[in-house]
């Protein structure tokens, strides 16, 4: 039998048990997919942390998984930072999904060290609602720096990478592996705060592929509003 004092303590919303992954007291934003929110700690994409989205290949529609949240965040005061995207973001597609283009900033970088620096500064600044990064490669130390910056700034941070990175340790509190089969996006949670295995989710998302766009140049650093 638990003592009354301990029972009272466990009722505190700031306390969570390992199995109560969906009731973790974390600031979050709904993903727009109810089946995914049920599996995410806090019931949505967590703020103040860096999440890793690992894909079997680039351009499978991974950005469509974030579109409902990005559209909602773009209605707020903060910026949406897209750092070193592999393709030039297609402004009409973003606008069609409800994203306010005036809130989007695209940063093209020369090297991964520049991508990491830009991401770290944006996450720490406190005036970015979301920070998305596409480094060619990143190690555990780099991810830890981003995680610390996200905690300080309270932003929703996402680092994209290849699924082979799933075999390596990461300080990111949330890691997802994404694939695609018959135009459906498969989502497997590899790591989250809490415990228990999660099923592979199959989500019907409106594809937001950028395969038809021109590759983003990394020869010269630039900073531009996507809606300009």
> Does some domain include residue 36?
no
> Does some domain include residue 25?
no
What is the token pair recorded at 11?
A: 């009722």
The CA distance from 221 to 228, in Å, is: 17
List per-residue pLDDT tens for the chain, 228 residues long: 456 665 565 455 444 455 444 445 679 999 999 999 999 989 999 999 999 999 988 888 899 999 999 999 999 999 999 999 999 899 999 999 999 999 999 999 999 999 999 999 999 999 999 999 999 999 999 999 999 999 999 999 999 999 999 999 999 999 999 999 888 899 999 999 876 778 899 998 764 333 333 444 333 333 333 433
Q: Is the pTM of this model over 0.75?
A: yes
The CA distance from 19 to 43, in Å, is: 14
> Does some domain include residue 6?
no
Residue range of the domain that includes 86 = 48-225
Q: Where are the alpha helices (DSSP H) in 59-109?
A: 67-73, 91-96
Task: List Cβ neighbours of 56 (8 Å cut-off, separation of 6 or more).
Answer: 162, 163, 177, 178, 179, 180
> Does some domain include residue 151?
yes
> Does some domain include residue 9?
no
The CA distance from 52 to 46, in Å, is: 12
> Does some domain include residue 34?
no
What pLDDT score does 6 carry? 57
> Does some domain include residue 87?
yes
CATH number of domain containing 221: 3.40.50.300
Domains in the chain, number: 1
């Amino acid at each position: 039998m638990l003592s009354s004092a301990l029972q009272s303590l466990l009722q505190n919303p700031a306390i969570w048990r390992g199995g109560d992954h969906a009731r973790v007291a974390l600031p979050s934003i709904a993903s727009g997919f109810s089946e995914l929110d049920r599996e995410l700690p806090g019931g949505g994409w967590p703020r103040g942390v860096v999440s890793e989205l690992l894909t079997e290949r680039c351009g499978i529609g991974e950005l469509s998984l974030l579109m409902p949240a990005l559209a909602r965040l773009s209605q707020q005061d903060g910026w949406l930072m897209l750092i070193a995207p592999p393709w030039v973001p297609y402004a009409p597609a973003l606008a069609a999904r409800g994203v306010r283009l005036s809130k989007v900033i695209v940063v093209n970088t020369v090297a991964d060290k520049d991508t990491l620096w830009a991401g770290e500064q944006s996450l720490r600044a406190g005036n970015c609602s979301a920070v998305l990064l596409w480094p060619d490669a990143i190690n555990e130390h780099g991810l830890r720096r981003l995680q610390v910056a996200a905690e300080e700034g309270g932003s929703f941070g996402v680092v994209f990478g290849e699924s082979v990175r799933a075999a390596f340790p990461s300080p990111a509190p949330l890691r997802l592996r994404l694939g695609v089969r018959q135009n459906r996006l498969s989502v497997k949670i590899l790591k989250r705060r809490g415990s228990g295995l999660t099923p592979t989710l199959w989500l019907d998302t409106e594809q937001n592929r950028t395969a038809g766009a021109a590759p983003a140049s990394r020869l010269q650093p630039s900073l531009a509003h996507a809606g300009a």
